[in-house]
Amino acid sequence: MYFFFRGALSAENVNTVTASLVTEGQATTILSATGYVEADTKADLSPKITSKVTALYVTEGDRVRKGQILARLDSADLDAQLAQARAEWTNADAELKRQRALLAAGFTSQASVDAAVANEASTRARVKYAEAQEDYAVIRAPFAGRVTAKRAHVGEAVSPFGSPGQGSANGGAIVTLVDFSTLYVGADINEANLAKLAARQPAEIVLDAYPNRPYPGHLLQVIPTADRSKGTVKVKVAFENLDDQVLPEMSARVNFTRERTEGAQAKSHVIVPRATVLPGPNGPAVVKVVNGRAVVQNVELGPENQGEVEILSGLSGGETLVADPAKHALKNGDRVNVKQE
């Protein structure tokens, strides 16, 4: 009775860790970096003339096709200039025809005809210029994409250099257009780690907004210059399955992996510190802590990396394990007391 009473009260003091459940990318990571979602094709669309916005057909989030009209500017003055240029060209063309007819009849000189030719060419050029100026009053999408910012409003005066009397980082941009199919993650990595990466190195992209939804990707480009003040090199990492959840300027973590992963479709892995695993008569084992008692659990080991080992079977992730079982002679059912840090 004495020994039973003592065993029921005594407990071994132990440190514990938790069996981690990680994605395939995290389990095979060779290098991690943080960065932001950026776009290869992006444009702040500014007018080439100073005028007033008379119509704006898009707002943030709208999808547009290449060549679609996004906005119109006031073109009343340009219309008048074009009409005047066309009238002058009509007169010059008529005068050229008359001079050529007179030359054929012997009533004028070649010099008069040459002057008429020059005048017709000059007025025709003014028509072309006026037409080009009038076309500048129509803002079209240079590529298919989505509007991410509306920077002007109907009735507002705009110019190529920003609002009159003011400077602007975006010039006189009316809208910002982004081709979402060109999104990638731009990340800085330490120069010393650059040798770990190969061409098209597999990667797993985890957006801070969706931490449980990793995206498979690969190394797209190493920018051929370094930041000597930080000792880093910028890299571009491409998405392999972009969707509408990925937005420009989102924060992201990139895990470069030994092998290609499938992101959200990939299986999860259970990872534990190597020190939690003991050799046993029936194979490797860990000691779980369940309701204050030790439970010896046999496990099947997988790959080991930097002091951590994958558990292929025996654990499902989230279990509380004795951190250093080699220091304790624990058996099934032994009472344990978790040390408080």
The ranges assigned to domains in the chain are 2-23+268-338, 27-41+182-265, 51-177
The tokens of 30 are what?
């060779």
Highest mean pLDDT among 75-79, 175-179, 268-272: 175-179
Rounded Cα gap, residues 266 and 24, in angstroms: 6
Do 2-23+268-338 and 27-41+182-265 show the same overall fold?
A: no
Confidence of residue 267 (pLDDT cuts 50, 70, 90): low
On the question of pLDDT at 166 being above 50, the answer is no
Answer yes or no: are the C-beta atoms of 114 and 100 closer than 8 Å.
no
Select from 280, 263, 266, 264 the least CA-distant residue to 314. Answer: 280
pLDDT attached to residue 122: 95
pTM for the complete prediction?
0.66
pLDDT attached to residue 73: 94
Q: Which tens digit of pLDDT belongs to each residue from 223-257? A: 999 999 999 999 999 999 999 999 999 999 998 98
pLDDT attached to residue 24: 64
Q: Which tens digit of pLDDT belongs to each residue from 115-149? A: 999 999 999 999 999 999 999 999 999 999 999 99
**Record: fold of 2-23+268-338:** 2.40.420
Confidence of residue 1 (pLDDT cuts 50, 70, 90): very low
Q: Are strands 175-178 and 42-45 parallel, antiparallel or unpaired?
A: antiparallel
**Which has more pLDDT, 171 or 50?**
50
Helix and strand counts by DSSP (H, E) for the chain: 4, 24
Q: Which tens digit of pLDDT belongs to each residue from 197-211? A: 999 999 999 899 988
On the question of pLDDT at 8 being above 50, the answer is no
- The strands making up 300-305's β-sheet, listed across from edge to edge, are 20-22, 269-273, 308-313, 300-305
Lowest mean pLDDT among 45-54, 167-176, 295-304: 167-176
Confidence of residue 173 (pLDDT cuts 50, 70, 90): confident
280: enclosing H helix or E strand: none
According to DSSP, the residues that pair with 124 across neighbouring strands are none
Answer yes or no: are the C-beta atoms of 331 and 294 closer than 8 Å.
yes
**Which has more pLDDT, 246 or 261?**
246
Kindly state which CATH superfamily the domain 27-41+182-265 is placed in.
Efflux pump adaptor protein, beta barrel domain (2.40.30.170)
On the question of pLDDT at 192 being above 70, the answer is yes
Mean pLDDT calculated for residue range 146-174: 73
What rounded mean pLDDT belongs to the chain?
87
Mean pLDDT calculated for residue range 210-227: 91
Helical packing angle, 110-135 and 76-105, nearest 10°: 160
Confidence of residue 11 (pLDDT cuts 50, 70, 90): confident
Rounded Cα gap, residues 337 and 334, in angstroms: 10
